[in-house]
Amino acid sequence: MMFKQSVLPLIIDNYDNFTAVEKTIADYFISNRHKEDFSSKAMKERLFVSEASLSRFAQKCGFKGYREFVFRYEEGFLERTKPVSFGFQEVVNAYHELLRQAVNTIDEQQIQRFCELINNAKHVLVIGIVSSGLAAKEMKSRFMRLGVLMEALDQSDEMKMQSVLMDKNSLLIGISLSGKKQEVLFSLKNASKNGAKTVIITANTEDDFSYCDEKITVSSFRGLDAGNIISPQFPVLVILDICYYYFYHNFSKQEKRGELHQKTVEILNEGLGEKE
């Protein structure tokens, strides 16, 4: 039996909040590779811990109680014809957990508002640093196919200069998982002062970003913005895919957008059939 589950990132993400006894429990579930008897009675004897400790551990992981935790944990045991390494499984678990979080956190009404902001703006600029800059360029590439005149920047000075030029007909989209990139925040604040619409895409759930018209929260867990396990772009790209789908089905059919969309498709396909 191989372990394929989305509980592991939850344990890792809350590890620093555990007591010494709870860390003993966490270490067991993190390192375990086999389906065994995980009942509270069996775990008490195996780890020399109390039922109360098991219950508190499960609650800190986000479950109502230990029984619910075990149910989710056991769901992950699946038969496989080929064995996989722990590293392989850890990456799969991370993606699984981010997608699970996305289902629970994405606000479809907010996605609609976001797409309306894009559709109504005459000038759309999306910015980000490092991996977020790559996501910004991906967003530009995709939305231009739908007839959106969008720019993408990943250089600090250019962001700041462009933010000064934005006005009430502009939309600035800032991407920052941490929500702490000063270049991105400075540009959003500046653009907002000039009357532009502003949106931040972030995993930061603590700050309110009151100067932004919309704060789109993406799924994340500790260390993701450092790219320690998987690409930090992944949760942002999930949001972008959903926005792209919604925009395509609701706005790209408009006469002007439809014409621009057709032209971009023709340009991309031009010369594909020619021989060198």
pLDDT digits (tens, 9 = 90+) for 165-187: 999 999 999 999 889 999 999 99
Place of tokens 């000063």: 182
Structural domains of the chain, ranges and CATH numbers in brackets: 2-83 (1.10.10.10), 107-269 (3.40.50.10490)
DSSP code, position 142: H
Gap between the Cα atoms of 200 and 171, Å rounded: 11
pLDDT digits (tens, 9 = 90+) for 120-151: 999 999 999 988 999 999 999 999 888 888 99
What are the two backbone dihedrals, phi and then psi, of residue 13, each rounded to the nearest 5 degrees?
Answer: -65, -30
Return per-residue pLDDT of the chain as tens, 276 residues: 333 445 777 887 788 899 999 999 998 988 776 778 999 999 999 999 999 999 999 999 999 999 999 988 887 665 444 555 556 766 777 777 777 777 778 899 999 999 999 999 999 999 999 889 999 999 999 998 888 889 999 999 999 999 999 999 999 999 998 899 999 999 999 999 999 999 999 989 888 899 999 999 988 765 555 455 677 788 899 999 999 999 988 886 655 555 655 566 565 566 555 544
Buried/exposed code over 147-170 (b: 16+ C-beta within 10 A; e: otherwise): bbebebbbebeebeebbeebeeeb
Pick from 19, 40, 22: nearest CA to 30: 22
Gap between the Cα atoms of 14 and 170, Å rounded: 40
The answer to whether 152 and 171 have CB atoms below 8 angstroms apart is no
Beta strands in the chain (DSSP E): 2-3, 77-78, 123-128, 150-153, 170-175, 197-202, 214-217
Q: Helices then strands (H, E): number in the chain?
A: 12, 7
List the alpha helices (DSSP H) in 145-233: 156-165, 182-193
